[in-house]
């Protein structure tokens, strides 16, 4: 992968976004009412996968709010994710580096969320060592965090129970489709075919390994990270949060880091304290589950509003397989 391809990766895989004028009038009126002022300017978000509206809105009273607005018309899953993000916001301790939810609204069709604005930037791509170190430290700090008492976050092993069956599901595909998977993955595809029985066995251990009591973001990539002027890292977009093993976010993130010029995941994973005590067997199980999820998901039709998601999942599947092969 060339440097140009690495740099182009996030915008190439972003969701289809709405502008302020694309929102129905009643939705715009509701946002103004929730903010207590009238919108005077917008700056649309340029990264991330979710379709719908996502922008920093400036209001006539001088305040800024990062606003998300989604409905099933853009994508049938988006409202469910937005509702999950509202629930998650009430479970995060104050010291978690996540933008604070200021207000929300749900009329059964449109779900609206207003967050404090983080003034910063996405990590530079290809990844710079200083950015990657700062993000790794922020991700590692979650290992010591538990959600607020009384939370209703799910267990990540329950969340992933169906997702981490990808290698088993591939058995049911017709031969032509399996051969297509192998061809797209090159030498790694052949390695996966030669080791399919082992991949299934490792995958079956993944849920046990994922269990734990730490806060897990569950969907970290460069587009879900912001770095402010003080070089403080903010982790954004939390609808997939759960409780699980403290090292999962770092492991889940590293395939995309490798795709975006951040270096070898084998070295990156073991270089951080959060990986201490994680056996190769446990890591192998999780990587088998993750690679099977990416590979099998990449074969599905593109979800509405996110036309290039499957291509990105295929790339992540190859990156995870490469890490798994090198570990084995």
pLDDT in tens, 271-281: 999 999 999 99
Average pLDDT of the segment spanning 185-212: 91
Domain chopping of the chain, boundaries: 3-119, 121-327
Task: Determine the Cα–Cα distance for residues 157 and 248; give it in Å rounded to an integer.
Answer: 11
Six-digit token pair at 287? Answer: 């990587």
Please give the pLDDT value at position 328: 77
Average pLDDT of the segment spanning 316-321: 94
Q: Which residues contact 101 (CB under 8 A, 6 or more apart)?
A: 85, 86, 89, 90, 113, 114, 115
Q: How many CB atoms are closer than 10 A to CB 128? A: 13
Residue 8 clears pLDDT 70, i.e. is over it = no
Please give the pLDDT value at position 204: 98
The upper half-sphere exposure of residue 173, i.e. CA atoms within 13 Å in the direction of its Cβ, equals 18
Q: Which residues contact 75 (CB under 8 A, 6 or more apart)?
A: 15, 50, 51, 52, 303, 304, 305, 306
Six-digit token pair at 3? Answer: 């440097």
Whether 291 contacts 206, CB under 8 Å: no
Beta bridge partners of 113: 68, 104
Under CATH, which architecture does the 121-327 domain have? Answer: Alpha-Beta Complex (3.90)
Average pLDDT of the segment spanning 53-62: 96
Average pLDDT of the segment spanning 308-316: 90
Least confident of 12-26, 82-96, 166-180: 166-180
Chain centroid, CA 210 distance in Å: 17
The reply to whether domains 3-119 and 121-327 share a CATH topology is no
Least confident of 10-14, 247-251, 285-289: 10-14
Task: Determine the Cα–Cα distance for residues 318 and 188; give it in Å rounded to an integer.
Answer: 7
Segment 112-160, tens digit of pLDDT: 999 999 999 999 999 999 999 999 999 999 999 999 999 999 999 999 9
Residue 15 clears pLDDT 60, i.e. is over it = no
Q: Quick one: pLDDT band at residue 1, thresholds 50, 70, 90?
A: very low
Least confident of 1-15, 195-209, 233-247: 1-15
Segment 28-38, tens digit of pLDDT: 999 999 999 99
Q: Which residues contact 152 (CB under 8 A, 6 or more apart)?
A: 87, 91
* Secondary structure in 3-state letters for the chain: CCHHHHHHHHHHCCCCEECHHHCCHHHHHHHHHHHCCCEEEEEECCCCCCCEEEEEEEECCCCEEEEEEECCCCCCCHHHHHHHHHHHHCCCCCCCCCCCEEEEEECCCCEEEEECCCCEECCCCCCCHHHHHHHHHHHHHHHHCCCCCCCCCCEHHHHCCCHHHHHHHHCCCCHHHHHHHHHHHCHHHHHHHHCHHHHHHHHHHHHHHHCCCEEECCCCCHHHEEEECCCCEEECCCCCCEEECCCHHHHHHHHHHHHCCCCCHHHHHHCCHHHCCCCHHHHHHHHHHHHHHHHHHHCCCCCCCCCCHHHHHHHHHHHHHHHHHHHC
Q: Quick one: pLDDT band at residue 173, thresholds 50, 70, 90?
A: low
Q: Which CATH class is domain 3-119?
A: alpha beta
The more confident residue out of 5 and 209 is 209
Q: Which residues contact 211 (CB under 8 A, 6 or more apart)?
A: 155, 156, 157, 244, 245
Rounded (10°) CA dihedral 257, 307, 78, 113: 70
């Amino acid at each position: 992968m060339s440097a140009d391809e690495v740099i182009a990766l996030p915008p190439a895989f972003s969701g289809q976004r709405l502008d302020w004028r694309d929102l129905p009038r009643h939705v715009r009126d509701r946002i103004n009412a929730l903010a207590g002022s009238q919108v005077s300017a917008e700056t649309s978000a340029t990264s991330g996968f979710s379709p719908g509206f996502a922008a920093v809105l400036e209001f006539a009273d001088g305040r800024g709010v990062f606003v998300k607005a989604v409905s099933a018309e853009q994508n049938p899953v988006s409202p469910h994710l937005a509702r999950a993000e509202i629930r998650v916001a009430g479970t995060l301790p104050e010291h978690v580096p996540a933008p604070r939810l200021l207000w929300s609204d749900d009329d059964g069709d449109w779900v609206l969320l207003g967050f404090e604005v983080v003034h910063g930037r996405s990590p530079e791509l290809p990844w710079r060592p200083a950015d990657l170190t700062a993000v790794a430290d922020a991700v590692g700090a979650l290992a010591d965090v538990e959600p607020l008492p009384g939370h209703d976050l799910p267990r990540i092993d329950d969340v992933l129970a169906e997702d981490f069956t990808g290698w088993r599901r591939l058995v049911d595909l017709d031969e032509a489709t399996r051969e297509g998977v192998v061809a797209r993955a090159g030498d790694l595809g052949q390695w996966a075919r030669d080791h399919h029985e082992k991949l299934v066995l490792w995958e079956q251990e993944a849920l046990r390994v994922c269990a734990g009591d730490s806060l897990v973001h569950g969907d970290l990539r460069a587009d879900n990270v912001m770095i402010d002027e003080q070089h403080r890292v903010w982790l954004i977009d939390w609808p997939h949060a759960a409780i699980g093993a403290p090292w999962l976010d770092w492991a889940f993130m590293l395939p995309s880091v490798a795709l975006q010029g951040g270096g070898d995941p084998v070295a990156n994973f073991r270089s951080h304290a959060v990986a201490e005590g994680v056996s190769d067997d446990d890591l192998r199980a999780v990587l088998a589950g993750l690679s099977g999820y990416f590979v099998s998901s990449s074969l599905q039709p593109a979800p509405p509003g996110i036309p290039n998601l499957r291509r990105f999942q295929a790339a992540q599947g190859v990156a995870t397989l490469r890490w798994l092969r090198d570990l084995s």
